[in-house]
Amino acid sequence: LQIESKQQCRDGSDLMSIDDIDHVICCTGFISNLESFLSPQIIDALEYDSEDSFSPLTLAWDTLHPSSLPNMAFCGMYRGPYMGIVELQARIAAGVMNGSVSISCEEVKSALEISRSIRTATPKAQFPHFDYIGYIDTLAKLFYDDCYPIFN
């Protein structure tokens, strides 16, 4: 599968294309069933719990687990207001994979710990990330780096 882009960055430069994608899996539904197509090693790395409908995976920003799975990303494995988050997850995933987005090991470790704490919190909130605007700002800052305006 090759994905080519005719879009340009704001500075006029061409966007990079990603041409070494093995699989794109698109799915809809309310119950994840990752064990049906991911290996047990990947399931273990993701700390996947098929019984957890609240937050079934341990992922940095509900998207990445680059320390264990650098070529895998998830978009939409998120519970809450959806479209803006999924758009930024896709941008971050593509940016990390094509090298235009760089995230430090410390940021990833911190995000994975936040994911674990959300999964183990009791009582559970209505949504894993109840502050939609704050969460979307976090994702936008990751993608846009220094170009993102600070509103708060």
The predicted-structure confidence for 22-38, as pLDDT tens digits, reads as follows 666 666 666 778 888 88
Least confident of 12-16, 42-46, 85-89, 111-115: 12-16
And the tokens for 137?
Answer: 């700002």
C-alpha–C-alpha distance, residues 81 and 68, integer Å = 28
pLDDT of residue 18: 58
Mean pLDDT of the chain: 81
Q: What is the pTM of this model?
A: 0.76
φ, ψ of residue 18 in degrees (nearest 5): -110, 120
Residue that wins the pLDDT comparison between 80 and 140: 140
Q: What is the pLDDT of residues 99-143, one digit of tens each?
A: 889 899 899 999 999 999 999 999 988 888 888 888 888 999 888
